[in-house]
Structure 1
Amino acid sequence: MKSQSALVIGAGIVGLAIARALAVRGHRVTVLERYERAVGASVRNFGMVWPIGVSNGAAYERALRSRAIWQELIAEAGLWHDPCGSLHMAYAQDEWEVLEQYEAANRGLRPCRLLDRDSALAQSPALVGEGLRGALFNRDEMIVDPREALRVLPDFLHRRYGVEFHWRTPVTAVEAGRAHSGTRRFEADQVFVCSGPEFEQLYPQVYAAAPLTRCKLQMMRLAPQPDGFRLGAALCGGLSLVHYAGFQQAADVAPLRARYQAEFGDLIELGIHVMAAQNGRGEITIGDSHAYAHTHDPFDEQAINGKVLDYLARFARLPDPRVIQTWHGIYPKLTDGSSEFVAEPAPGVTIVNAIGGGGLGMTLSFGLAEEIVDGRYGAVRRAA
């Protein structure tokens, strides 16, 4: 990319990833954010950097590149993190068979290994031992604190690379080489629109023609666990085995999905699969559900949270299970199976949105940003 200046619209994880990729290459970067700080899906998630959730090939390479960038930022900005890996439990034979298939398919490709019951229990003190068949451990996964990261990274990018941030600056129009916020005008060689779920406000005609909807998910945070109790890894119940593309690529999950449909039809209908991740303060984030529509009710359903907690109890027991926070997040979702939405609606203007297709923005954004800024990304949608 030959440009020497750039505007980035949106200070969520996608906007920060684009801003960083530009800044480290010497571009003068200005970020425009409508709120006083990031308050959207980028701070309403587990904080999981989650390579196990993506398929082998380009997506996995992108996830590993993102992870490497996270590690650089962690070291330079002093962010908390836990390179704890992920643990996927089997309490039934069909779950164990999926884990066996996954391990066999990824032997030599990913740092995963099967654990027998005793080894799994040694990996995490939270696991329910009754009925546990075994588990799969994968070393790639890492936990960051999204609320801390999205608060600290803007200041770091400003201090380290001179990136300018303009908060409370809603962008009302974009054209080649400039963005408008009311009567204010910002100019640059390139403009990147990273507006997350508020995607129709800029270039609505582009989004109207795109296979996009919105996903609402409900999540909870549990109290800090006493006496230094740690999960040992990010924990995933069996329902996650039929949720992520990484498992679907490596194993025949259809029989397991059919069994879950019969046994947990209410959870499948609500898009529930249950994971747990612990932050540096000992709090445990759990979730989540998935509902798809262009417009969602602003209200959370306690019944959904109750189902998540009930399923969590099937594989994890915690010293302090008190819920201290509940919330929902909304993120863009592509309905055609694509992994991201990248478009050029005008010369010098690039839209970057809907990363990962399944809430994988923390996992993929930094790697995707590198590809786009380097000109290596080859699937840009051209506006008619």
Structure 2
Amino acid sequence: MLGRMGLGSEPVDLVVVGAGIVGLAHAAEGVRRGLRVAVVERDEFARGASVRNFGHGCVSGQAGAAFGYAKAARERWLELGRLAGFWAEPTGTVVAARSEEELAVLAEFAAAGAAPAELLDADGVRARVPLRAKTLLGGAWLPWDIRVDPREAVGALARWLASVGVTFHWRTAVTGLEPGVLRTSRGDLAAPAIVLATGHDLDWLFPELAERAGVRRCALQMLRVATPGPAARAPGDGERFGPGVLTGLSLLRYAGFAGCPSLPALRARFERERPDLLAVDMNLMFTQLPDGDLIIGDTHETAVTHLPFQAETVDDLVLAETADLLGVPAADLVVRERWRGYYASAPGREFLVAAPLPGARVVTVTTGIGMTTSHGLAAEVLADLIP
């Protein structure tokens, strides 16, 4: 029988540490299985990677285990959007190609058939998204991809989970872990199953585990800009983008394109013509918030500990490349917000799942695909942890 130790008087079956999307996905999966669930979060609300991203479920761009997780997560996001009342739509993605090498990679990807992809000419791209880049040659339509509003979805999901019986302990820090017991700044919490989903801060609790896996923090520079168009200085004005938009730099990043024979030629072209973009590890892409503003980015820099300073030259590069893709002067992109995102990164792996103690699992997504895969990953973790 479970003890009643410090936090709450009701016994629980599953404790989840972390109220970001990885943690909430495990809590939602616990609810689905009929478990009594508690969530422990050190902040007053989620403020990390789960709210700083594009809200883009890039199902089509995954491979291997991540592809399976992403397909499962796609259906779960759409279901939870209906249940929790947040916007989640199968908007698909348009990949904009501005070189022959990019077109070749997309043709090879479509021919492989792992995920559906419709090749488009330049007019076909423009029919789906209002891009006016003079260098636009064509692209592809990826219908499996989805979008959520990252600033709304995670909070709405937490509120819905609370409404169906999940207990949240906000502003509560974890200080230790023993078999069946979580030590926190507000007392102990006992449960037969504990999931620790602390993301890039894994080393706060398990430094040796993080060091063995090579976990570092990947810092992103991202911006929110007004969508170009008539009177676009007010939110809601400007042109509308239903799908997310990826570019040739995205083809270098996502594992689903890694097997395309033309990918080395594409990388060589970027190395030859745009080494400045590769130097900041740019993945040029954007999505649109419900109010019409665009989330644009992003760049990547890995370190265990980052300096707090954000380089304006990097933001300028993101703005210039976005403006070129949109076919507008960079001065027309009115910046509303700038921020740094962070997520866990580890060489040679996309996920870190470990069992530091009996009945406990550490779960960290070690690439920037947490929003895309977490719900599918959570189902597999809990199937193992709680058969």
Q: Identify the residue that residue 148 of structure 1 maps to in structure 2.
A: 152
Q: Identify the residue that residue 372 of structure 2 maps to in structure 1.
A: 363
Instruction: Tell me if 1:30 matches 2:38.
Output: yes
Q: Identify the residue that residue 102 of structure 2 maps to in structure 1.
A: 95
5 Å-filtered alignment, 1:156-171, equals: 156-160=160-164, 162-171=165-174
Q: Following the alignment from structure 1 to structure 2, what is the Cα–Cα distance between the partners of residues 91 and 318?
A: 16
Instruction: Tell me if 1:374 matches 2:383.
Output: yes
Q: Deviations over 1:89-133 (max 9, x none)?
A: 122211211111111112xx42210011211111112x1252321
Conserved? CA contact 2:323–2:333, under 8 Å? no
Q: 1:176 aligns with which of 175, 179, 195?
A: 179
Q: Following the alignment from structure 1 to structure 2, what is the Cα–Cα distance between the partners of residues 50 and 318?
A: 26
Q: Following the alignment from structure 1 to structure 2, what is the Cα–Cα distance between the partners of residues 201 and 287?
A: 28
Normalised by the length of structure 1, the TM-score is 0.91
Counterpart of 2:337 in 1: which secondary structure? Answer: strand
Q: Following the alignment from structure 2 to structure 1, what is the Cα–Cα distance between the partners of residues 367 and 93?
A: 18
Q: Identify the residue that residue 279 of structure 1 maps to in structure 2.
A: 289
Q: Following the alignment from structure 2 to structure 1, what is the Cα–Cα distance between the partners of residues 37 and 152?
A: 22
| C-alpha distance 232-155 of structure 1, shift in aligned 2 (>3 A) | closer
Q: May I ask how many residue pairs the two structures share in their alignment?
A: 368
Q: Following the alignment from structure 2 to structure 1, what is the Cα–Cα distance between the partners of residues 186 and 105?
A: 57
Shift of 1:53: 2.3
Instruction: Tell me if 1:136 matches 2:145.
Output: no
Conserved? CA contact 1:81–1:280, under 8 Å? no
Q: Identify the residue that residue 209 of structure 2 maps to in structure 1.
A: 206
What percentage of residue pairs aligned between the two structures are identical? 39
Question: Counterpart of 1:171 in structure 2: which amino acid?
Answer: V
Conserved? CA contact 1:143–1:279, under 8 Å? no
Q: Choose 18-27 or 218-227, whichever is displaced more.
A: 218-227
Q: Following the alignment from structure 1 to structure 2, what is the Cα–Cα distance between the partners of residues 205 and 368?
A: 23
Shift of 1:227: 4.2
Q: Identify the residue that residue 380 of structure 1 maps to in structure 2.
A: none
Q: Deviations over 1:75-102 (max 9, x none)?
A: 1111113422111112221121111111
Q: Following the alignment from structure 2 to structure 1, what is the Cα–Cα distance between the partners of residues 328 and 73?
A: 31
| C-alpha distance 166-4 of structure 1, shift in aligned 2 (>3 A) | closer
Q: Identify the residue that residue 314 of structure 2 maps to in structure 1.
A: 304
Q: Identify the residue that residue 334 of structure 2 maps to in structure 1.
A: 322
Normalised by the length of structure 2, the TM-score is 0.91
Shift of 1:158: 1.4
Question: Counterpart of 1:114 in structure 2: which amino acid?
Answer: L
Q: 2:255 aligns with which of 238, 241, 245?
A: 245
Q: 2:72 aligns with which of 42, 65, 72?
A: 65
Q: Identify the residue that residue 333 of structure 1 maps to in structure 2.
A: 345
- Structure 2 unaligned blocks of 5 or more: 1-10
Q: Deviations over 1:183-202 (max 9, x none)?
A: 51111111111111111121
Q: Following the alignment from structure 2 to structure 1, what is the Cα–Cα distance between the partners of residues 47 and 58?
A: 21
| C-alpha distance 312-248 of structure 1, shift in aligned 2 (>3 A) | same
5 Å-filtered alignment, 1:345-364, equals: 345-353=356-364, 355=365, 357-364=366-373
- Structure 1 unaligned blocks of 5 or more: 378-384
Q: Following the alignment from structure 2 to structure 1, what is the Cα–Cα distance between the partners of residues 139 and 308?
A: 37
Conserved? CA contact 1:344–1:350, under 8 Å? yes
| C-alpha distance 282-82 of structure 1, shift in aligned 2 (>3 A) | farther
Shift of 1:52: 2.2
| C-alpha distance 313-184 of structure 1, shift in aligned 2 (>3 A) | same
Q: Following the alignment from structure 1 to structure 2, what is the Cα–Cα distance between the partners of residues 199 and 166?
A: 19
Question: Counterpart of 2:342 in structure 1: which amino acid?
Answer: I
Q: Deviations over 1:23-51 (max 9, x none)?
A: 21111111000000001111110000111
Q: Deviations over 1:202-246 (max 9, x none)?
A: 122222222211111110011265546212321112211111111
Conserved? CA contact 2:319–2:333, under 8 Å? no
Instruction: Tell me if 1:121 matches 2:133.
Output: no
Instruction: Tell me if 1:262 matches 2:235.
Output: no
Shift of 1:8: 0.7
Q: 1:6 aligns with which of 14, 39, 51?
A: 14
Q: Identify the residue that residue 300 of structure 2 maps to in structure 1.
A: 290
Q: Identify the residue that residue 54 of structure 1 maps to in structure 2.
A: 62
